[in-house]
A and B are shown apart, each in its own frame.
Chain A
Amino acid sequence: MRRFILLFLLLCGGAQLSFVHCQLSMDMDEVQVTAPRRLRDTGLQQTVLDTAILHQNVALSMSDILTQHSTLFIKSYGRATESTAEFRGTSPSHTQVMWNGMKINSPMLGTVDFSTIPSYFVDQANLLHGASSLTLTGGGLGGAVDLHTQPLFNQGYALQYIQGIGSFKTYDQFLRFTYGNERWSTSTRVAYSTSDNDFKYTNYDKIGHPKERNRSGYFDDVHVMQDVYYNAPRNNRVGTMLWYSHSLRGLPFLSVDYKDNTDFRNEHGQDALRAVLSWDKTFDRWNMGVRTGYAWHNIAYDYYTTRETVNTDITHSRTRSQQVYVQAEADWMPRANWLLTADATVYYNHVRSSDKSPFHIGDNYNLGRPEYNLSLSAKYRPVRNLSLSAIVREECYRRDFVPVIPALFVEYMIHRPWNLVVKASVARNYRYPSMDDLYYKPGGNPDLKPEKGITYDGGVEFSIQHKRYMLKGNLSAFDSHISDWILWTPNAKGYWQPSNLKKVHNYGVEMMASAEVKMKHQWRLSLTGNYAFTPSINKSDQLEDNDASYGKQLVYVPRHSTNLSGCLMWRTWSLRYQWTHYSERFTTTSNEVSYITGRLKPYFMNDIALEKTFRWRRVHASLKGVVNNLFNSEYVTVLSRPMAGRNFEIFLELKPQWK
């Protein structure tokens, strides 16, 4: 019977979801250890992405990783284009994103462009679904993404260089130097990616279906990151993390644009600096930490003609934002089955935004805004298999307090050998308006109220470890109601205005599973999958009698999303396969399919990579070949934005050995 159940779970996981580690042979001897359940994680619906996933390909950004290894929906139209993440059919601004403790959502938009975060610059990513995000921050009506760099103590010197060369004159370079002894850990990373990105495609949107090139899709991105950690005496740890990036990206022309791209320039430039300084101290029964951070962004958007006789700006936009952040937190374990935590955070954001367009000229706004967050939580394990958790948050922006945010979590261990746990949570959550929502001219609405959400979660997870195989899975169902959803809608004058318009009912199922099997003769197979069923239904009052959007799926949100990864390893070889699917998406609020632009057909993507590693005495090396869009699918993920067909990239990785 037990075998039958195991087989069922394996098939279920393999069929519907999967998350996979394509470890290289040099790592194959590592032993997978199932960590004991932490009181801190009581009731959490969490997906953990480790370096095996994050560092699989230097050309990938976090948007690619989340597309391939999570249930999040990423809205993107190609490499190096704006990519936003949505949990459970919510909006991108409902995804809160932290980097080493500091929130990095744009204070203007409330969103994060995940295409600007190279996955090689993240060592661990925790995805907190729904109510679980409240352990980290408020406002994550969909969830939160917690990104971390990690120290490498006692690792000695290490140098890593990766060179990638790919289709469309794409070059990816990555250099990392690390040093770690008992006291110190330092890591320096540099990445530089550049491409013409002028792939050929058949333009079905034009008469005669001409072969055209992606125009103005170039990019030129540089990232530098330095982190230093010091283990001071008496259980003190000090850390500093610094990340600078410079990006210049062309904005690709639409497939229905008949202008000559040599006559026009349409590009987006961004410089960003983020820094965090941390101090953590550990005692027998309590821990405390203080963090402070600073973020600076300088963003330019230009669209202009270069024709001599009509040289004119079409759009010219400049935004400079600064953020200062201070956080203090403390954990106290008065007894082994109690954990009490307190967290106070202050942000101060200042934004100066100006633009020139047919709809506005001059400052959009030039304002500062403080934001205060206070959180208290108690976690309690009354009996061995039962854990309870309660969180209370209070948040304030400007002088406006959002109502108290409460959350309750419970979990029960049903079968310890399988780590079979059932868990449930209920939470209320609020997201206060972004600065653009309130102040942007034209359109900003200072009377906006915070968005309000209430979420119920329930689920089961298991983890089975055996000498030859490992099996993990997680199934959760959720039901969420969001009201006063802030929606930007166009008006007759051509610009957009936000208002607390929408009520949305999100519900559905998320599943994750992974399986890993060690076979004879050093063969090893791992499978990972994710599946999400996310109806996201508009329940707003009708705008007017002709409004047919009530009861319809939100625009561009798929009801089904699935990804599946498989990795087969043998000695120094590894073969990775990636399959991604989104169901059809609607482009109108009324979900009409009567004309061809009313929906995007289901999307399927297949990628494959083959890697061979070499372990010479003075250097370890690997050679990897990647084929993206293996079957050369012709597809779009956003209307009139063609994507690249089959394309290739090869990577050479070198790691000198110092010993």
Chain B
Amino acid sequence: MLLSALVLTAACSNSDPGIPTEDFEGTGKGVFVLCEGNFNAGNSTLSYYNPVSKEVRNGVFQRANGGAKLGDTGQSIQLHGGLAYVAVENSGIIWALDTASFKVRGQLTTGQTEHMINPRYIHFLSDEKAYVTDLYSPYITVFNPRTMAYRGSISTRQEASFGYNSTEQMVQWGKRVFTNCWSYSNKILVIDTERDEVCDSIVLSSWQPKSMAVDARGKLWVITDGGYEMDAESFGDNIPHLYRIDAETLTVEMDQALDTDEGNVVVAMNPAGTVLYLINNDVYRMDITASHVPVRPFIEAPRNANGRRHYLYAIGVNPHNGDLYVADAVDYRQSGVVYRYDEDGTLLDQFRVGITPNCFAFK
């Protein structure tokens, strides 16, 4: 019996020695959905959705690249010049992928740079220059997206807040790039893109600015998660705020406290830059000229029988037709669900993706 067991298992390995590489043709105006997975599990994945055929393909990075994994905690995805750039935070890597075949065309790792630690978001200034923010590093990394070569870094010139120096999302107005400092901070930094240096900052009344968008009039919309209300050493009050800031004068024009959030807080802009969408438990829609967030949500988060809301985690607006994509992380340990609505809030489709969908990119 022992012998037969040995024979049976002698050649058994449970690793996955390279699944066959699939050839994809991700044609059309498809949508990438980045799923961050679970921290320290290395199960971040990338999905690709075709809005015309309503076909979704999950795990396309792994399937197109011989079983290689995307990494641990995929944070953001941006498209530029026919490539998709994915920042995988806890793996310390930025991938450049072909947007049709999903094959890897280049990469930038922590070790290739001087200061990068955990890359979060990427912002393209040209075909040869892009910024990368970081959860831990007090520097913004600059690289060439065409060659994936490291070009340098920009000091944030900020004193560490509670020991941390984080930079998060980036938006551009004119020659200025704005980046929010999320971890233990209440600042927006202003970067002069010609001199590649931080030239100014905006201090907010609420802690932890989480998400940003810029509208057609040059107004910066910032939502905070409010930090934490815990003890004397902690900071914040757990109350999110929405700000409208003039990108030229850096003046805060609007500051509205929102409901304490059970899910994520995110903002996104419609293609024309005239309508702001935000997640604050439910999905709200407001004209950029409005003075406050509407009382009634645009789309109510679905509720289960006992009234619990679905935890909405991410939002994206298709720049080609204004369709709204909203991600539901469910329990963060199973495949999440993406809802697709039209501009009027009519549900067009819903589909399963990977674990914890957190970012959309539109071809």
Contact = CB atoms under 8 A, between A and B. Distances in A.
Partners in one complex: yes
Interface of A: 11, 14-15, 202, 204-207, 209, 254-260, 263, 305, 307, 309-310, 312-314, 356, 358, 360-363, 441-442, 489-493, 527, 541-549, 555, 564, 566, 577, 579, 581, 587-590, 592, 594-597, 600-604, 606, 631, 633-636, 639-640, 642
B359 to A, nearest CB: 14
B138 A310 contact: yes
A259 B231 CA distance: 35
Contacts of B14: 600-604, 633-636
Interface string B125-154: 000000000011111000000000000000
A595 B334 CA distance: 11
Contact of B2 (A259, A541, A564, A600): A564
B319 to A, nearest CB: 25
Closest 5 CB pairs of A and B: A640-B42, A362-B233, A590-B334, A595-B59, A604-B9
B10 A606 contact: yes
Given A310-B115, A310-B139, A587-B43, A11 B1 contact: yes
A587 B37 CA distance: 11
A424 B305 CA distance: 40
B6 interface: yes
Given A492-B311, A595-B59, A639-B43, A205 B330 contact: no
B261 interface: yes
B334 A547 contact: yes
B67 interface: yes
Interface of B: 1-2, 5-6, 9-19, 37-43, 45, 58-59, 62, 65-72, 88, 90-93, 104, 107, 109-111, 114-115, 117-118, 135-139, 160, 162-166, 183-184, 225, 228, 230-231, 233-234, 261-265, 302-304, 306, 308-311, 313, 328-337, 354-355
A205 B328 contact: no
Contacts of A358: 135, 164, 166, 183-184
Contact of A579 (B2, B39, B331): B2
Contacts of B234: 360-362, 441
Given A15-B1, A589-B334, A595-B62, A205 B42 contact: yes
B16 A204 contact: yes
A359 to B, nearest CB: 8
A420 B120 CA distance: 64
A606 to B, nearest CB: 6
A296 B337 CA distance: 46
A21 B69 CA distance: 43
Contacts of B118: 314
A207 B136 contact: no
Nearest to A641: B42
Contacts of A564: 1-2, 5
A360 B228 contact: yes
Given A312-B164, A489-B333, 11 more contacts: A202-B17, A207-B104, A209-B18, A259-B109, A358-B166, A489-B332, A527-B2, A543-B304, A589-B333, A594-B335, A597-B41
A236 to B, nearest CB: 48
8 contacts: A204-B67, A209-B17, A254-B40, A305-B117, A492-B225, A492-B262, A548-B335, A601-B14
Contacts of A489: 331-333
A206 B228 CA distance: 38
A555 B333 contact: yes
B6 A606 contact: yes
B334 A549 contact: yes
B142 to A, nearest CB: 15
Nearest to B263: A492
Contacts of B37: 597
Given A547-B331, A631-B11, A595 B117 contact: no
Contacts of A589: 331, 333-334
Nearest to A501: B331
Contacts of B139: 309-310
Contacts of A263: 110-111
Contacts of B107: 258
Contact of A204 (B18, B306, B309): B18
Nearest to B353: A595
A604 B4 CA distance: 13
A634 B17 contact: yes
Contacts of B110: 258-260, 263
Given A263-B111, A492-B313, A604-B12, A441 B62 contact: no
Given A256-B72, A258-B111, A579-B9, A546 B330 contact: yes
B117 A254 contact: no
B355 A588 contact: yes
A4 B43 CA distance: 52
A259 B11 CA distance: 32
B69 A205 contact: yes
Given A14-B2, A254-B42, A606-B10, A547 B225 contact: no
Contacts of B184: 358, 361
B163 A313 contact: yes
Nearest to A602: B14
Contacts of A603: 14
Given A595-B58, A596-B59, A257 B114 contact: no
A312 B335 contact: no
A596 B10 CA distance: 23
Given A305-B117, A548-B334, A596-B19, A640 B41 contact: yes
Contacts of A259: 91-92, 109-111, 117
B45 A597 contact: yes
A442 B228 contact: yes
Contact of B15 (A542, A544, A555, A634): A634
Contacts of B164: 312, 358
A360 B164 CA distance: 11
A559 B9 CA distance: 18
A256 B160 contact: no
Contact of B165 (A14, A312, A546, A600): A312
B221 to A, nearest CB: 19
A516 B264 CA distance: 61
Nearest to A577: B2
Contacts of A442: 228, 230
A642 B15 contact: yes
Contacts of B1: 11, 14-15, 564
Contacts of A635: 13-15
Contact of B331 (A356, A549, A642): A549
Contacts of A548: 330, 334-335
Contact of B136 (A310, A541, A581): A310
Contacts of A307: 114-115
Interface-centre pick from A361, A587, A592, A603 (highest chain B CB count, 10 A): A361
Contacts of A543: 304, 308, 330-331
Contact of B304 (A361, A493, A544, A555): A544
Given A310-B139, A362-B233, A544-B302, A256 B183 contact: no
Contacts of B331: 489, 543, 547, 549, 589
Given A312-B164, A589-B331, A206 B311 contact: no
A310 B72 CA distance: 21
A595 B264 CA distance: 26
Nearest to B230: A441
A255 to B, nearest CB: 7
A491 B65 CA distance: 31
Nearest to A262: B111
Contact of A547 (B41, B262, B330): B330
Contacts of B166: 358
Contacts of B93: 258
A301 to B, nearest CB: 13
Contacts of B309: 544
